[in-house]
Amino acid sequence: MSDTPIPAAVTPNPQAVSVQVKRSAIFIVATLNPDAASYDTVRAWCGDVAALVRSVGKRQPAGGLSCVCGFSANAWDALFGTPRPAELHPFREFGAGERHAIATPGDILLHIRADFMDLCFELATHLMGRISSAVTTVDEVHGFRYFDQRSIVGFVDGTENPTGDEAVTFTVIGEEDPEFAGGSYVLVQKYLHNMNAWNALTVEAQEKVIGRTKLADIELDDAVKPSSSHSSLTTIEANGEEVKILRDNMPFGRPGAGEFGTYFIGYARSPAPIEQMLENMFVGRPPGNYDRLLDYSRAVTGGLFFVPSEPLLESLADRAAPDEAGTDHSSTDTPPSAAPVSDGSLNIGSLKGAPQYE
């Protein structure tokens, strides 16, 4: 991956991918209703998203309200046709049995963030109200910030996130796909945790699973950190340098129902490094040396989406329907979310000048 910063003067403004950590979030995944009227409704809605964020956000400016909107590969084909973002494809599954990164239906992703849940709730109400006749919500999670940015399993989350210009370099598409410059890829998974089993471990055992100290959030020395630890397997390097993604995971749960979870959301300039992390976790590096956190955690959803730049998202409202534009629409003869699952093979290193991730 090129480490050259993306010139702001020539790159369209991205959506609010790399914003300051907030205390509340709502994640909504919806499928498109498979008819022309629904497609028209969603295309028109693309031109309203930014205005709705501004209108609701101004009611409480200190809340830092933002929203990221993304589309799956099959939704993109149905709504907008060609060209398609170069690395947009259906979610790739990894593993099997007890350790399985599954693909689940989802055509549209909304990631709404603010310091106050009422702002998130109000914006979600307006956004979904505009397209309620055109989509079916298949997953909705309300997340919260847990103390000092800790996950539900008690460890600080997102410590190694890139910031500033580095965050832009790792999350925003540049010259490698110029028609979609300013965009990003985002991968989401909902994990449920067996907290009784996790809490039965000693702190020392938990630290070896994660690869960091629990209280101080310091990475364990390589001499004592297992190669199967979560931090080991989610560290990706190319040419001796770490390739980072931007995480904004959120805990969620219903204690009365015994539900405790983490909503994983990772942004990147290419889906390849996130997919490599998943392969390392679920299959192992080498195979069999899997992420031991998966002994206590289970992925129950999975989706990959493209996040257009701000101006592209707004302009999609005026995009002609694929058939009207003379686009080959054969890839969406089935409903958008019903596309076959990939065989899990990776196409890594497709960024301009990017080496393979290991």
**Whether the bond into 83 is cis, omega within 30 of 0:** yes
Distance CA(143)–CA(188), nearest Å, equals 13
Active-site annotation holds for 291:
no
Distance CA(243)–CA(275), nearest Å, equals 12
Nearest of 86, 63, 66 to residue 310 by alpha carbon? 66
Using an 8 Å Cβ cutoff, are 121 and 143 in contact?
no
Six token digits for residue 123: 């914006």
Tell me how long the chain is.
358
Other Cβ atoms within 10 Å of 55 Cβ, number: 13
E strands within the chain? 24-32, 66-71, 94-96, 99-101, 108-114, 135-144, 184-193, 236-238, 241-243, 246-247, 250-254, 259-268, 297-299, 303-307
C-alpha angle 24/165/186, rounded to 5°? 50
Using an 8 Å Cβ cutoff, are 168 and 18 in contact?
yes
Other Cβ atoms within 10 Å of 179 Cβ, number: 11
Using an 8 Å Cβ cutoff, are 112 and 49 in contact?
no
DSSP state of 146: B
Marked catalytic residue, from 77, 107, 139, 157: 157
Distance CA(181)–CA(177), nearest Å, equals 6
Known catalytic residues are: 157
